[in-house]
A and B are shown apart, each in its own frame.
Chain A
Amino acid sequence: MLVHSKGARRAVWILFFVLFLPVFALPLLVIVAASFATSWSGALPSGPTLAHYQDIAHGDAGQALLTSVLTALAASAGALTVGTWAALAAERLGRRARRLVDGLFLLPVAVPSVVVGLSLLVAFSQPPFLLNGTPQIVIIAHTVLVTAFAYQSVTAALTRLDPAYEQSAAGLGARPGYVLWRVKLPLLLPSLTAAAGLCFALSMGELSATMMIYPPDWMPLPVQIFATTDRGSLFAGAALAVTLMAATLIVLLGVSRIRTKAAYR
């Protein structure tokens, strides 16, 4: 509607795809292509193979994928609980207190993830909390990093929520706990599942804080990808990256399905 002549419009679209394709589409495609290749010396990769994926099925990578999924599940569950609780409680606060809680829960977004890792390393390597070298410290780090997103999406959903439902339930004599459980949480369900998907995806890809604190027996997939590419096995690394993307996508798609289901309930 901004450009009316047909030729000019076509020119704009061509410019768009010249910018868009190499920047967004190509990176994902080359990783997929490379994961099936053994070398890349020409314009296209060569030596098609499935060996990288077979290695994943047999080697440490499967363990790394499982580690990542477990970490992401635990972290999203924790983040969702804490984030939802905080958002629900903050909604009731006065403006100033609310702004303070907002600031506190969004702070992890501003603090570099590497520093979050460092701080956990410093804090939990000394009494009273000795967690250094355990899987728990990785899960805690991921939870800290994704809680901000859970908090924020629930807060945003709460401001969109029509207070009339809650009020009429309360007006009909429902106790606050009942209103929360039977009215508010069901209304929030779509946002909660979307937030869960987001938290899971972010936790699956977390590298910065994890690099600081992972113990040798709890090595998530991104760290494994780094270790693999760092020793020069770029193509095996690409296969791992595809695995990571696929696992993330499956969960996101699953969640978006729940979301549409919930929206029609």
Chain B
Amino acid sequence: MPRTDTAVRADRVDAAGVADTAARTVPDPDPGPPAPTKRRPAGRSKAGWVLPPVAALGLVFLYPLALVVWQSFTPEDGGHSTAPYAAVLAEASFRDALANTVLIAVGATAGALALGLVLALVIAFVPFPGGRALSRFIDIFLAFPSFLITLALLFLYGTAGMANGLWTDVTGAASGPLDFLRTPWGVLLAEITYFTPFVMRPLLAAFSQVETGQLEAAAALGARPWRIIRKVILPEALPSLAAGGALVLVLCLNEFGIVLFTGAKNVVTLPMLVYTKAILDGDYTGACVVAVVNIALSVALYALYRTVVARTAPRSGSRTGGVRRRAGA
């Protein structure tokens, strides 16, 4: 079956990959045509090419991660046990951080999805001059680190910032009414701002595949815009929306720069707790325990995200592009 070679090979890279596997894994007692005997040594040497980069990754990423897990089971007083976990899980600060992280991440994801959906709908379906330039601007926005947003919010809504300054100018009051930046709401606002473009990119890609004819037909049949969005556009975009949402959820769970710049003592998330424990307290075992919890949470969600993307990819044809960017901060 895999040896109807040229047609299969020319087809697509993925298809060729499948053919390769089949040729290599199916035990073939009778060599048959000369192709497989020729291909087998080549296949093995090709597999060997992947080893150097994987080894490099193993050395600087997997080996350190394994050590983190190992250290999280190593109490300060020697031996190996789950005692560090018991100790950290019993801390109120850890439970608060966990709750904070999940609540802020879920809230920010919901906010980013809502805002991103509205903005992407307008850019795609109520086009205006300069809309393309705007989506390019959003691309550039994604290249900047997240903590810049918190810095900007300080000048916008901080105790001495634009909004409060406007208020004091107009009313003559001594100080403005806005003072939420050092609360979870400040982190939430910053994360929604920063992560909305991550939702918009895959959505815009999905919207560009919606057929205009369908919309025109629905409109000609008397459907109102709201109904068209609900019945025609959203079903098409749902996978991208899910993928974007899952990605943003992971990124929010891992976000550190925004929380660090907020500088609030009472807004502690898991990554912040890892930093505090390791760098400020010097408690590496505790930091590793929190890190393992954070990794488990994020990696599980990310696996879910990859499944969603894998399921949508064959249909939309393009790799929705959502993963492409993960700002380092």
Note whether A and B form a binding pair. Answer: yes
**Interface residues, chain A, with chain B CB atoms under 8 Å away:** 1-4, 9, 12-13, 15-16, 19-20, 22-24, 26-28, 30-31, 33-34, 39-45, 82-83, 85-86, 88-98, 101, 103-116, 118-124, 140, 142-149, 152-153, 156, 158-159, 161, 163-164, 167, 198, 201-209, 211-212, 222, 225-226, 229-230, 234, 237-238, 241, 244-245, 248-249, 252
Given contacts A2-B228, A43-B165, A202-B328, contact A101 B50 (CB under 8 A): yes
**Residues 148 to 166 of chain B near chain A (Cβ within 8 Å):** 148-149, 151-156, 160-162, 165-166
A204 to B144, CA, bound (A): 9
A122 and B299 alpha carbons, distance in the complex (Å):
20
A108 to B196, CA, bound (A): 22
A95 to B141 alpha-carbon distance, docked (Å): 35
Known: A15-B122, A249-B143. 13 other contacts (CB 8 A): A13-B126, A19-B115, A19-B119, A27-B153, A27-B193, A86-B57, A109-B326, A110-B301, A118-B274, A122-B64, A205-B148, A206-B145, A207-B147
Which interface residue of A86, A113, A121, A122 has the most chain B CB atoms within 10 A?
A: A122
By the criterion CB–CB under 8 Å, are B274 and A114 in contact?
Answer: yes
Number of B positions contacting A (CB below 8 A): 112
Inter-chain contact A114/B271, CB cutoff 8 Å: yes
- Decide: A109 and B323 in contact? CB cutoff 8 A: yes
Residues of B within 8 A of A (CB): 9-10, 12-14, 16-18, 20-22, 24-25, 43, 46-47, 49-50, 52-54, 56-57, 60-65, 67-68, 71, 115, 118-119, 121-123, 125-128, 134, 137-138, 140-141, 143-149, 151-156, 160-162, 165-166, 168-169, 192-193, 196-197, 212, 215-216, 219, 225, 228-229, 250, 253-254, 256-257, 260-261, 263, 270-271, 274-275, 278-279, 284, 287-288, 291, 294-295, 298-299, 301-303, 306, 319, 323-329
Cβ contacts under 8 Å, A98 to chain B: 17
How far does the alpha carbon of A41 sit from the alpha carbon of B167 in the complex, in Å?
Answer: 10
Q: In whole Å, how far is A220's beta carbon from the nearest beta carbon of chain B?
A: 11
